[in-house]
Amino acid sequence: MPDLRFDDRVAVVTGAGRGLGRAYAHLLASKGAKVVVNDNGGTLTGDSANAGPAQDVVDEITAAGGEPLINRVGHAYIKHRMRKEHAAFGGEVSGHYYFREFSQADSGVVPFLLMLELISREGRKLSEILAPFRSRYFITGELNTPVADPALKLQELKERYASEGEVSHLDGISVNARDWHFNVRPSNTEPLLRLNLEARSQALMEQKRDEVLDLIRS
């Protein structure tokens, strides 16, 4: 049985001692939760900490008859977007999950129960359910760096990486390349830049992580 901790968020650690990872929690909620899979025809709201969600998330949502949407970070923005789009589900990599049937409010208890349902239905350990995703997607987690001029650094990132992929300014700066993507956004409460980066291999993730961090910290 995984160890569990939640308040208005939810965090899960597998029996193998590895953190579930907030992005994987979002992935599994999108993949296995009834609010997602069985709500055919509804729309689903994504998170913006990764401006390009893992393709499996998009594929699962689309296959279920839903529409994946990108939105900027923050519960006020996500709740507004969910009401506007009549979205079934919303998630952030911070561990907040929002449900239409819960008045668009975030809850740690609801995804906890859905996770237990998923484990019961699959009849496997959570680490075993996660294994296929962990072998295909490699994520840095959120990396925070104090900076004196966040706007200047965002501009430098745009100039450096605009040629490598599609650029979005929905929330900070996001670059979506063929085999990797990242988002860097200013903190709303501290003089920090927050980096989230995902790649198709461990080596590429580490290479691009170090590149982007070197630029941010220079």
Q: State yes or no: pLDDT of 216 exceeds 80.
A: yes
pLDDT over 70 at 66, yes or no: no
Task: Give the single-character DSSP code of 150.
Answer: H
- For residue 162, pLDDT beyond 80: yes
pLDDT, one tens digit per residue, over 67-81 is 777 667 666 777 888
Residue 98 has pLDDT above 90, yes or no: no
CB 208 within 8 A of CB 215: no
106 neighbors 80 (Cβ within 8 angstroms): no
pLDDT tens digits, residue range 9-52?
555 555 555 555 445 445 555 554 322 222 333 334 444 433 33
By three-state DSSP, how is residue 41 classified?
Answer: coil
The alpha carbon dihedral of 23, 29, 35, 39 has a sign of: positive
**Hey, which residues does 87 pair with through a beta bridge?**
43
User: Which range scores top for mean pLDDT: 85-89, 187-191, 198-202?
Assistant: 198-202
Q: Which residues touch 69 (CB under 8 Å, ≥6 apart)?
A: 43, 44, 45, 46, 81, 85, 87
Residue 121 pLDDT exceeds 60: yes
CA 87 – CA 14 distance, rounded (Å): 30
DSSP helix/strand/coil, 30: helix
Estimate to the nearest angstrom the gap between the alpha carbon of 3 and the chain centroid: 21
- Domains of the chain and CATH, by start: 3-134 (3.40.120.10), 138-217 (3.30.310.50)
User: 57: which 2 tokens?
Assistant: 């998330």
pTM above 0.75, yes or no: no
Taking the C-alpha atoms of residue 2 and residue 4, their distance in angstroms, rounded to an integer, is 6
% of the chain with per-residue pLDDT over 90: 21
Q: What is the pLDDT of residue 209?
A: 95
What are residue 59's phi and psi, to 5 degrees?
Answer: -65, -45
pLDDT band at 59 (very low <50, low <70, confident <90, very high): low
**82-92 confidence digits (pLDDT tens):** 788 787 777 77
β-bridge mates for residue 181, sequence order: 176, 198
